[in-house]
Structure 1
Amino acid sequence: MRRHRNLIIMLVMAALVAAAVYYIVPPSEKTHLGLDLQGGLEVVYTARTADGKVPSAAQLDQTIGILDRRVNGLGVTESQIQKQGADQISVALPGVRDAEQALRVIGKTAQLEFFKDDPVSRPVGPVESKQAALRELRRLGASKAEVRQLAAEGTTEHYSLVVRPADETAGLPEQWFVYRRPPAMTGAAIKTARAGFNSRTGKPDVLIDFTPEGSKTFQRITRELYRTGLLKNEPQTFAIVLDNEMASDPYIDYTDPTLRDGISGGAEITGGNMTVQESKDLAFVLNTGALPVKLEPAYQQQVSATLGKDSLRKGLYAGLAGLVLVLAYMLAFYRFLGLVADLALVVYGVLLWGLFNAVPVTLTLPGVAGMILTIGMAADANVVIFERIKEEVRRGRTVRSAVSSGYARGFRAILDANALTILTALVLFFFATAQPKGFALTLILGTLVSMLTAVLFTRALLGVLASFAFFDRPALMGVPAAEIQPEEPAAARRPGLRPQPQPQAAAPAADEPAAAPELRRTPRRTPTGGQKKRRKRR
C-alpha cells in the first residue's frame, strides 16, 4: 500500500515537472524580467479634474492606487508608478509587448454614468455633429464660457457632452447629445463587471452587477421609466455613458407587466462595434474602479535596462555556481542520500522556474538573489532529515527503518524553520515597496517549493528505492561500519523498563584456596508420642 502511494506521488511530481517545462520553454519568451534587466515603456500622464483644474494630492494618490491595480491586471508586475510634480504621474512598465493596448487600458478614466433620456435630463440631441450640439446648448441659454469649456473638456459642472459612435452594422450615423448633470447613477453603484455576449445579437458586451444600494437605485429609475412609458404610450430609454461616449441606450418596454416594479440586479453594456478584447478591457477597468481624474499622455518613451544583460548574466552565473557547489557537497558528504538530494534540487529548480513563469513573477536583480537564497534553504531541509537518518543508522537500525524515523523526527524542525521564513517574507512583502517586494515574493515561493521537494518528493523516492536489496547498506548513507552500534534489546528501548541483573555467585578470593566439597549427614528426628499414636492408627 505504501509503495503504491509513493509511486503515485512520483507520477504527480513528474506531471508537475512536465507542466513546469511547458511554462519555461522557450525561456527567452516566457521568462519575465524587470525594468532593471530588460527595460520597458515609460509614460508620463498629466492629470486634470473634471472641471480642468489641478487635482489634489489625495486624488493623485487614489489615481496611483487604481493604476497599480490595472497594471497588475495586465500581467505586468515590478512596475514603477510615481508622482512627478503637482499634476503628473509617471508609469514605467517592464517588457510590454502591446504598448497601445496597455496605454488604452491604463489611461482609461472609466467614468460610468447613467442618464435618463427625458427632455429635462437631455436638453440637446440627437444632432449630427459636436458643433451643432454646442450651438443648440448656447441657444438654450448656456453661457459662452461654459460652452467653450464643454467643447474642450467634454464635461462641466452642469453638462456632459456625449457622442454615440456610428454603427455601420445597424446603419446608424454618429450622433451627439448634451445631458444635464448630475447623472441618475454613477459607476460607484457597480459591484462587479464581466465580459459576455448579447443573448439576441451574439455580439460581445459587458454584464454589470450592482451593489445592494445601487440595485435599489436602478430599480427605482427603471420603475419611473416604466410608468412614464405607460403615460406617454411609448418606450422610455436611458443612456449608459462611459467617458462621454454612449455605450448603450436600452429601453424599458412598458407593455411588459413584469417590469412594473422596475429592474433589479444588473444591467448590460452593448457597444455596436465592441470586440471581445474591448469587452474584456472594459469589464477590467470597471472592476478596478474609475479614475477620479482624467489622464492625458504628456509623452512616452522606451527606457533601457538600468543594469543590463551583464548584471543578469553575472547573477545567473552566481546562482549556477552556488547550485553546483551545493550538489557536489551533498554528493560527497551524504553519498547515495546526497544523490537523491541532488535530484530533488534539480526538480526544485525546474518547478520554481516554471512557477515563476506561470504566476507570472517579474524577475529583478533582488528577485534573482531571493531565488538563489532558496537553493540553500532547499538543501538545508535535506540536511536536517539526512542527519536524522544517519543518527538512526549509527544506533543500529536498518536503513529502511532509519529513513522512516528520520523523516518523522526531522519534519517538525523543517516546518518551524520554513514557517518563520515565510512569516518574515510576508511582512517584507506587505510593508515594502518595489524591488524588496519582489525579493520577498521569490523567497516565499521558493520556500514553499522547497518544502514540496524536500519532504514529499525525496521521501517518496526513498520509499520506492527501499524495495531494492542494495538500499539496506549503511555505507551508501555515508555511515562507516565502525560507527554503527549494536541495536539495543526491545526492552531497553522502551522508556521506564530496565533489564533486571542476573544473580551471580560470589567468586573466591585469589589468595584463598578453594574449599573441598563437604558431605554432611542430616540428623534423624525422633518422633514424638503423638506422632507414634497416629502411626499405630494407620
Structure 2
Amino acid sequence: MASTPGRIRPWRYLAAFAGIVVVLYSLVFFTGDGRPSPKLGIDLQGGTRVTLTARTESGAAPPRDQLIQAQQIIEQRVNGLGVSGAEVVLDGNNLTITVPGAQGDQARSLGQTAQLRFRPVVGDPVPVIPATAPAAGATSNAPAAPPTGQSTAPAPAGSQPQGLAGDATSQKVAPVAYSTPLQNPAPPPSPAPTPDAGANPAPADPAVAAAIAQARATRQSTDPTVQQQALAALDCKANDPLRGYDDPALPLVACNQDGTEKYVLGPTIIEGTQIASAQATTNQNGAGYVVDLTFKNPGAGIWGDYTSKNIGKQAAFVLDGEVVSAPQIQGALYGVTQVSGNFNQARAQELASVLRYGSLPLSFDSNEAQTVSATLGLASLDAGLIAGAIGLALVFVYCLFYYRALGVLTILSLALSGVVVYAVLVLLGRWIGFTLDLAGVAGFIVAIGITADSFVIFFERLKDEMREGRSFRSAVPRGWVRARRTILSADAVSFLASAVLYILAVGQVKGFAFTLGMSTVLDLVVVFLVTHPLVALASNSRVFGSPAWSGLGSVAKIGAARRRATAAASKGA
C-alpha cells in the first residue's frame, strides 16, 4: 500500500534535531575558551577606543583620499562580515577605532601598515641580550656577529623532515651564505605619499624626515661594515622610524616581532601585494597555528622559482619592518606557503586578516586605549528585552487560547528554537567575531513573529483538511504537504529581504539583517524537525487528539456534518 504523502516517522526527525543540539553544545563547551556566552556589542558591554594618528615621511598632512582608503581597509580588517559591531570613524587626520570589550591591543594592531615583504636572511640571526650592569672588570662574552653573508653557526642537531609542497617550518637553522644579485629583481620602492594639492599641509616635521633618512643610511646600507654597526646599535624596544617606509630594493637590518633576535636581510624577493588569499589554520607539523598564503600571478611564479633555487636557505616574512618568521625553505613552493611564528589562534587570524585585506597607504601611531561605557546600551537592552518578553507572552496567550494543545506545541517549538539560536550565537562569536547588539536583539524579536507565522500556516491548513471531513490523524500529513510550500515561500522571501538589506546596509543595520536572516533559516529547521513531528505525534495521541484538547473541535464538527451530508447524498443517488 502506498504511504500517504506527508506521513513521516516523527521520532527520526526529533532524534535528528536532538543530534544537532548535542553537536552545537559540544562545540560550545569543548571548543574555544569554553565560556557559554555570546559576544556582546559596544552598546551592550562597552568597548575600547583607540585613536590612530597618520604620519607621513615628510611630516605633511596626509591626503584625504588616502585617509578614506585607510579607513575602508581597517573597517574590512576589523569588521569583514559586518557583524562584529566595531566602528571606524575618520576625524580630521585621525582614525578612531572602537571595538567591543577590553581589546585595546587588538584595536592598536589594526592600524599596522601591513606591508608584508619576503626577504632572504643574510648570515645568522643575532640574539638580543638583555641589558644588565656588568660587574667591575667583567668582559662581555657575547659572540661576535658573523660577517655579512657568512654563517659561522654549526648545523642544527636535527631538522624536521621535508613536508608537503608549500610547507615551511619556523625552526631556526644556519643559512648558507647569501649572494647577490637575486634571481628575481625586487620591485622598485613605492613613492612616498604626497599631500593633496588643494589641502593645506601642516609644516613638515624635520625630526621625522631626519629619523627616516638616518635609519635608511645605516640599517639599509649596502656596506657590510655599516650593516654590522647598525645591527649592534639597533634597539628592538624602540619605535621604528622605518615602519612602513623601508626601501624594498635595499637590504634591511631588522628585529623579529618578539624583540629577541636581530636579522640582516637582503632586498625584497616578492611583495605582499602579490598575495591572493590568507587563511589561519592549525599547524599540521606541530602545536599552534599558521597562516596559509596563496599568490597571484606573476608572484606565484617568482616565489616558486626563488624557493626552488634556494632550498636549505632561510627566507624572512617581514611585516612592517619586523620579522614575523624566518623559516627554512624545504622545497619549491609553487602552491600554498605557510607563515609560521608560534602563533596562537587569535594572532594567526589577526595576521591573516591584515594580509587578506591589503596594506594601508599610510603609517599610523596609536595612543593609549580608552574604555567606552555601555550605560545607555544596557538601559536600551532592558527596554528591548521587556518589549520582547511582552510580545512573546502575547504570542503564547494567543496560541493557548486559540489552538490549545497545538499552542503548547508552539511554545515548546519556540523554546527549542531559542536553545539552538543561543548556541549558534556563541559559536558565531568565536568563528566570525559576531557580536550581539541592540540591532541584533531587534532582529531576533522580529524573527519570533516569522516563526509563529509558520506555525499558524500549518495549523490553519490542518483546519482546512478537517473541514473537508478528514480526521485529525489523516489531516496532518495532507495539511503538511500543502503548508510546507507556503512556509518555504514565505521564509524564502524573508531571507531574500534580509540578504538584500545585509548587502546594501552598513553599520548596525547589517547586524540586524544578519540576525533576521539567520533566524529565518533556523525557523525552517525547527518547523521541519520539531513542529511537524510533534503535531504528528499529537495526532496519534488520544488526549491531544481529542477535539476538546486539540482546539479543533469546531472544525471537527463541520467535517463530521460534511461527511454525513456526503453519505446521505450517496445513499439517495
Q: Same fold (TM over 0.5)?
A: yes
Q: Give yes or no for the alignment of 1:13 onto 2:20.
A: no
State how many pairs are aligned: 457
Amino acid paired to 2:507: A
In 1, the alpha carbon distance for the partners of 2:251 and 2:91 equals: 30
**Pairwise CA distance, 1:500:** 11
**Pairwise CA distance, 1:39:** 1.0
In 2, the alpha carbon distance for the partners of 1:403 and 1:435 equals: 41
Q: 1:409 aligns with which of 464, 482, 500?
A: 482
In 2, the alpha carbon distance for the partners of 1:487 and 1:43 equals: 73
Q: Indicate if the aligned counterparts of 2:48 and 2:370 stay in contact, CA closer than 8 A.
A: yes
SS in 1 for 2:488: helix
* Residues 126-525 of structure 1 mapped to structure 2, 5 A cutoff: 127-128=227-228, 130=230, 155=246, 159=250, 161-165=252-256, 174-175=262-263, 183-193=268-278, 194=280, 206-222=291-307, 239-248=316-325, 264-267=334-337, 269=339, 271=341, 278-279=347-348, 281-305=350-374, 307-360=376-429, 361-478=434-551, 479-480=553-554, 482-488=557-563, 502=573
1:286-331 C-alpha deviation (Å, 9 max, x unpaired): 3343333322203431111262322211211111111111111101
Amino acid paired to 2:354: V
**Which residue is equivalent to 1:77?**
84
- Higher helix proportion, which one? 1
Amino acid paired to 2:94: Q
In 1, the alpha carbon distance for the partners of 2:448 and 2:73 equals: 36
Instruction: Go from structure 1 to structure 2 and tell me whether the alpha carbon gap of 1:314 and 1:287 turns closer, same or farther (over 3 Å shift).
Output: same
Q: Give yes or no for the alignment of 1:114 onto 2:118.
A: yes
1:130-156 C-alpha deviation (Å, 9 max, x unpaired): 48689xxxxxxxxxxxxxx96687525
Q: Indicate if the aligned counterparts of 2:282 and 2:289 stay in contact, CA closer than 8 A.
A: yes
SS in 2 for 1:42: strand
**Pairwise CA distance, 1:23:** 7.7
**Which residue is equivalent to 1:522?**
none
In 2, the alpha carbon distance for the partners of 1:56 and 1:464 equals: 69
**Pairwise CA distance, 1:386:** 0.9
Instruction: Go from structure 1 to structure 2 and tell me whether the alpha carbon gap of 1:22 and 1:423 turns closer, same or farther (over 3 Å shift).
Output: same
Query: Over the residues paired in the alignment, what is the CA RMSD in angstroms?
Result: 4.1
In 2, the alpha carbon distance for the partners of 1:154 and 1:439 equals: 41
Larger mean CA deviation between 335-344 and 469-478 belongs to 469-478
**Which residue is equivalent to 2:144?**
none
Q: 1:93 aligns with which of 89, 99, 109?
A: 99
**Pairwise CA distance, 1:382:** 0.9
**Pairwise CA distance, 1:174:** 3.2
In 1, the alpha carbon distance for the partners of 2:456 and 2:423 equals: 25
Name structure 2 gaps, 5 residues minimum.
Answer: 121-177, 183-220, 235-239
Q: Give yes or no for the alignment of 1:64 onto 2:137.
A: no
In 2, the alpha carbon distance for the partners of 1:202 and 1:38 equals: 33
Larger mean CA deviation between 447-456 and 23-32 belongs to 23-32
SS in 2 for 1:174: strand
In 1, the alpha carbon distance for the partners of 2:62 and 2:17 equals: 54
Instruction: Go from structure 1 to structure 2 and tell me whether the alpha carbon gap of 1:209 and 1:363 turns closer, same or farther (over 3 Å shift).
Output: closer
Q: Indicate if the aligned counterparts of 1:43 and 1:91 stay in contact, CA closer than 8 A.
A: yes
SS in 1 for 2:374: coil
In 2, the alpha carbon distance for the partners of 1:312 and 1:163 equals: 49
In 2, the alpha carbon distance for the partners of 1:202 and 1:321 equals: 50
In 2, the alpha carbon distance for the partners of 1:319 and 1:293 equals: 46
In 2, the alpha carbon distance for the partners of 1:30 and 1:15 equals: 21
Task: Calculate the TM-score normalised by the size of structure 1.
Answer: 0.72
SS in 2 for 1:92: strand
SS in 2 for 1:307: helix
**Pairwise CA distance, 1:422:** 1.4
**Pairwise CA distance, 1:431:** 0.7
In 1, the alpha carbon distance for the partners of 2:115 and 2:561 equals: 80
In 2, the alpha carbon distance for the partners of 1:425 and 1:203 equals: 37
SS in 1 for 2:480: helix
Q: 1:33 aligns with which of 26, 40, 50?
A: 40
Q: Indicate if the aligned counterparts of 1:164 and 1:247 stay in contact, CA closer than 8 A.
A: no
**Which residue is equivalent to 1:45?**
52
**Pairwise CA distance, 1:108:** 3.0
**Pairwise CA distance, 1:187:** 0.7
Amino acid paired to 1:11: A
Instruction: Go from structure 1 to structure 2 and tell me whether the alpha carbon gap of 1:461 and 1:131 turns closer, same or farther (over 3 Å shift).
Output: closer
Task: Calculate the TM-score normalised by the size of structure 2.
Answer: 0.68
In 2, the alpha carbon distance for the partners of 1:460 and 1:249 equals: 58
**Which residue is equivalent to 1:534?**
none
In 1, the alpha carbon distance for the partners of 2:248 and 2:487 equals: 63
Instruction: Go from structure 1 to structure 2 and tell me whether the alpha carbon gap of 1:394 and 1:71 turns closer, same or farther (over 3 Å shift).
Output: same
In 1, the alpha carbon distance for the partners of 2:233 and 2:397 equals: 79
**Pairwise CA distance, 1:392:** 2.0
Amino acid paired to 2:319: L
In 2, the alpha carbon distance for the partners of 1:421 and 1:74 equals: 20
